Structure 1
Amino acid sequence: MRRFTRMFATAALVLATVAGTAGWAAGDSQNAVTGPPPGTAAWRADTARGRPLPDPVDSTPAELARFFAALDGPTRERLLRTHPLVVGNLDGIPPHLRYRANRAAVLATGEARYASLAAPGRRILAFDPRGRGQVAEVFGDLEGAAHVAVVVPGSDNDASRHDAPRTPATGPAGMARALRAAAGADTAVIAWVGYTTPVGVGVDAAGGRLAEAGAVRLARFTRGLDAAGAPDPALFCHSYGSVVCGLAARHTDATDVVALGSPGMRADTVADLGTRARVWAGRGPSDWIADVPHVRFAGLGHGADPISADFGAHPLPTSEVRGHTGYFAPGTRTLAALARIANGSTR
């Protein structure tokens, strides 16, 4: 009887948190955007000098890399021009080709909310206009970098809001810019909004459905970096993004996994993540995420607190962090610590 009492009490606590804990808000249920990129049907019907094109879903990033490496220049250019939304989202092929393809894809949408992504000098590594839109942007020279970091954000992020005005050093792009500036020129940082994030902090944010879909996409994205010759990445995972990273960790070759303002990683300990990466965790003193119960019941909640001693993550200095989004604020000891992880100084 006591066991069931505890179970129902846990369920009530999680549901109460979703309904009204400080900092949480009602959210609309989202449909995860998955599957092949737009334009895949036309791609599958095309050929390269009579040879079938590799399937965007069934081909591994390594296979895609080998296919593009074997193409002659004119054929590569024709595919880029004819199928920009597919080429721009093929994990594993050279980043400079993806930048060009995605600029063309953004321009082809004709949508004002995406127009700034096509500005000269932007390095858009992935772009998918379906739903609220997904995007990945590179800050720095990915093809020449000695170190790579990937920022994985949480709720309320998408391609349509990628360039929305924000407080400096917040949001995926702001975090990535701040981290790159602190880490140095030989580190490339990617703002990866490559999954459907929750809107608000309702049942979607309390559940793992969107994180599970995102983890599959993040794991493939990191395999694409490897196939393109990039260094193994460090993952910087904020808020709900840390749930995504927790589920993806065992399927990536990440050197480090950093959980910031995390509601949990769907694991009880670092060992349960199944990764060889070093795992770090930090939470600021005024971050409202501290009020979220670290439990799991009936699919709700994300489990143990990553900053607890029992979880086993390396601690980060976070005494200067303000609120839920202040982890990348310039001049703080927190950002300096994150930069050392990103540029390999702690290895």
Structure 2
Amino acid sequence: MRRYTRTLVASALAVTVVAGTAGWASGSAQRAVTGPPVGAEAWIADGLPDPERTSPSEVAAFFRDMGPARQRELVRAHPSVVGNLDGVPPELRYEANALALGGRYAGRQVLAFDPRGRGQIALVSGNLTTAEHVAVVVPGSDIDSGNLRPLTDMADALRRATDSRTAGSRTAGSHAADSRTAVIAWAGYTTPVGVGLDAAAGDLAEAGAERLTRLTDGLAAVGAPAPSLFCHSYGSVVCGLAAHDLKAKDLVVFGSPGMRAANVGELGTSARVWAAKDPSDWIDRVPNVSFAGLGHGADPTEPAFGARRVPADDARGHNGYFASGTQSLRTFAAIARGDVR
């Protein structure tokens, strides 16, 4: 009985510490969107492979084995499935999502769109088919298809920086622009709303990790380079939980509450792991604890964690890492371009 009482008290203290620090007290409970895309039943009824049981590499092989006419027939008949199926060639996914969205997000290359819940979406800047480098920006709380601006601002800033001669470690005489990097703004999971218990727990991150893993599997299946992932705030929890399965060359976390690992070794990844935190980021006031399913563990910027440190002293606040002219943005761009070893 005494041990049971101590456990209850410890759990209550953990909730108080995590939920009562730095504003971790507001927010509403969210339910993760999981399962196959909308329209999967009709797709399966037409004798097509089950989206949930077919791997991205199998999807890619399935589409390679059919001619262009049949591919476009499937785009027209099942746009909501084709547009969300990792392993389908990107151009077909853009076409399918344009049909499903009916002009919404016109001018953007929509790699995925799921209308369920608050809405999930992935937007691509650049050419995934020809890109030599791919970057994926994974956001934290409050991002969904109706609130994309913070995410697209980060992704657009990164794309501009990778295209700029002054953004990274270019030598004299090198060309002024580098359009070989494609950037994906990936709002592909159910994010927490606010910074309440959802943000302190790992449930949404676990569901997001499965979707993120499938995204990188899909990129590999269509011949895209292994991406560099830029994981902000709660997005770094997603990246940490997915790390051991991700086909990625870099994991870059910034404004991170933790990755649910004690150190880089526990992530189980061959990717290079980078971490940034600026001195004015409120995340520094969130305790790096992990107890009873709450809290996300060690600070990835601590030397003992073993990540490579990204300079961020001139960034400002929790959302300032992509501000023009900052050391963090210059370093992010260099990582995305493969300019740093």
- The answer to whether 1:101 aligns with 2:96 is yes
Mapping 1:126-205, distance limit 5 Å: 126-163=112-149, 171-184=150-163, 185-205=179-199
**RMSD between aligned residues:** 1.8
Q: For the Cα contact (< 8 Å) 1:14–1:293, is it kept in 2?
A: no
Query: Aligned partners of 2:323, 2:300: CA distance in 1, in Å?
Result: 21
Counterpart among 316, 329, 334 of residue 340 in structure 1: 334
- The answer to whether 1:33 aligns with 2:33 is yes
Query: Aligned partners of 1:10, 1:242: CA distance in 2, in Å?
Result: 26
Residue in 2 aligned with 1:252? 246
Compute the displacement of 1:74 (Å): 2.1
Q: Counterpart of 2:74 in 1: which secondary structure?
A: helix
Compute the displacement of 1:183 (Å): 1.1
Give the counterpart letter for 1:101 in structure 2.
A
Q: For the Cα contact (< 8 Å) 2:157–2:324, is it kept in 1?
A: yes
- The answer to whether 1:306 aligns with 2:300 is yes
Mapping 1:1-347, distance limit 5 Å: 11-12=11-12, 14-46=14-46, 52-107=47-102, 116-117=104-105, 119=106, 121-163=107-149, 171-184=150-163, 185-347=179-341
| Ranges in structure 2 where 5+ consecutive residues have no aligned partner | 164-178
| Ranges in structure 1 where 5+ consecutive residues have no aligned partner | 47-51, 108-114, 164-170
Query: Aligned partners of 1:273, 1:345: CA distance in 2, in Å?
Result: 24
Q: Percent identity?
A: 60
Residue in 1 aligned with 2:172? none
Query: Aligned partners of 1:292, 1:245: CA distance in 2, in Å?
Result: 19
Compute the displacement of 1:277 (Å): 0.6
TM-score by length of 2: 0.91
Give the counterpart letter for 1:329 in structure 2.
A
Q: For the Cα contact (< 8 Å) 1:234–1:341, is it kept in 2?
A: yes
Give the counterpart letter for 1:26 in structure 2.
S
Residue in 1 aligned with 2:167? none
Query: Aligned partners of 2:5, 2:153: CA distance in 1, in Å?
Result: 45
Q: Counterpart of 2:100 in 1: which secondary structure?
A: helix
Moved >4 Å (runs of 4+)? 3-13
Q: Counterpart of 1:144 in 2: which secondary structure?
A: coil
Give the counterpart letter for 2:40 in structure 1.
T
TM-score by length of 1: 0.90
Query: Aligned partners of 1:265, 1:99: CA distance in 2, in Å?
Result: 32
Q: For the Cα contact (< 8 Å) 2:138–2:187, is it kept in 1?
A: yes
